[in-house]
Amino acid sequence: MKSTLLFFLTILLFSCKQSENHKGNLYFKLINLTSPSGLTDKQAINTEKIINSMVSDEKNKEFVDYYKNVIKHDLLKNPYLQLETEDGIKKVYLNFKEYDKIKHFKLSELQEKSKKVTIELNAKELEKDLFYSEEIILIQEVDGKTPWQK
């Protein structure tokens, strides 16, 4: 009986999605039309209708599936940051309190000062490549080249 209970508790523990520590540099993408952020309620509803009406064919399956998961986890109106890590660039959705901590960083100002922003945060991977963080642990402006893309 005890071993059965222990077995089920172990499975439950490992099946829960745990926050993981992620560290990287704040990444800027100047034009990103496929990533809405800070939408009004009306805009979010319209975007949700558009995404849900799209056919998930081979051409746009990854895009549609990703945004259906964003909608499923109610993150469509949440702000996000992009983090350049050793594993590639990760889009991490944030709550508004945490976003306030990083929203003042501007690419042009960082480039002018030859600085980059290193961030460490706890994030859960809600779905494949869909991250959410309620806690930024460290934000540090350091010497270096800010990663970005047009």
Quote the pLDDT of residue 4. Answer: 53
Residue 11 lies in a domain: no
Cα–Cα nearest to 89, from 17, 150, 146, 147: 147
Residue 10 lies in a domain: no
Give pLDDT tens digits along the chain (150 positions): 555 544 444 444 444 567 899 999 999 988 765 566 667 888 888 888 988 888 778 888 888 999 999 999 999 999 999 999 999 999 999 999 999 999 999 999 999 999 999 999 999 999 999 999 999 999 999 999 999 998
Which domain covers residue 93, as residue numbers?
18-149
**Rounded to whole angstroms, how far apart are CA atoms 69 and 32?**
19
Quote the pLDDT of residue 6. Answer: 47
Residue 55 lies in a domain: yes
Q: Phi/psi class of residue 69: alpha, beta or left (left: φ > 0; alpha: ψ in -120 to 50)?
A: alpha
What is the number of structural domains in the chain? 1
Residue 109 lies in a domain: yes
Residue 13 lies in a domain: no
